[in-house]
Amino acid sequence: MIAALLIAGGALAHAAWNVVLKASPAAGIRFVAITVALSTVLLAPFGAPVLLPALVERPATAGLLLASGALHCGYFLLLQRAYAAADVSVVYPLARGTGPLLSVIAAVLVLGERPAPIALLGAGVVIAGVVVIGFAGARPSAASAASDPATDARGRHRRAVGVALGAAVGVLIAAYTVLDAVAVTAAGLSPVGYFWGSLVVQLAILAPWLVASPTATVQEARRHPRAIVAVGILSPLAYLLVLAAYAHAPVAIVAPAREASVVLIALAGWLLFREPHPAQRLIGSAVVVAGVALLASG
């Protein structure tokens, strides 16, 4: 029950900040750097007191923080590039479907997890639902199909780019999912401390874009204050809830279950961004919900 509540809260927060990011005109490395800086400052009072003593006792765990920070930087920047190039309902479902699929495989082969058969069935159903939603976004709308050939070609290219970038984001998701599970289980790091350390590494990587032009940094913050605050708060909140869930359930269950957020994103793509094929999105969403129910019963 605790794991289910943590996963549900994380899915809601994750969907919310992705919608904000897609709806915002903000873009670029400087925007990501500012949101990371905000998250780092907000979590410092909670993360530093638990992480620093752990690093003194086990300096080797710093390697986990360095790897996590690098992977998360790549994830944020690639995700932002993907949203600028394609529809959210193409990128998000494919990324969130590829990631859990690879995470489940890694959890079984690398971490030695042995989830119950019904849980594995639920993971497969969740991933299938995500793919159904992704294919809905990848299909052209009726209006596009009736348009001139040049417009239709641009649409096909946009969808192809979305599929490629979404799958690439999914690979990064799988990589940091397994890494983070190792950090909070095998290495025994506190979720808050570990994630704050990852944020510090991310900030160190992105700092040159903040200090290269302080005036441009201030201007960026003034142009997009709401998006910066929303992403800077909701993104770490979503991830902390998932990290905490690893203490109550195995990766092979948590990784697919957290993708319930794809249902919210599919609805947002239809209702907020007027993206096509709502019927297929709703069918895919129902499949995801059924998969999550199977995971819970396992």
Residue 144, classed as helix, strand or coil, is helix
Encode 32-44: b = buried (16+ Cβ within 10 Å), e = exposed.
bbbbbbbbbebbe
pLDDT number for residue 291: 76
pTM to 2 decimals? 0.75
Contact criterion met (CB below 8 Å) for 87 and 222: no
Span of 52-61, 139-148, 279-288 with lowest mean pLDDT:
139-148
pLDDT digits (tens, 9 = 90+) for 101-148: 787 778 778 777 777 788 778 778 877 877 777 666 555 555 544 555
* Rounded (5°) CA angle 251-78-170: 30
Model pLDDT for residues 230-259, shown as the tens digit of each residue: 999 998 999 889 888 888 888 777 877 776
Find out whether 227 and 235 touch, Cβ atoms under 8 Å: no
- For residue 189, is pLDDT > 80? yes
Structure tokens at 149: 């050939």
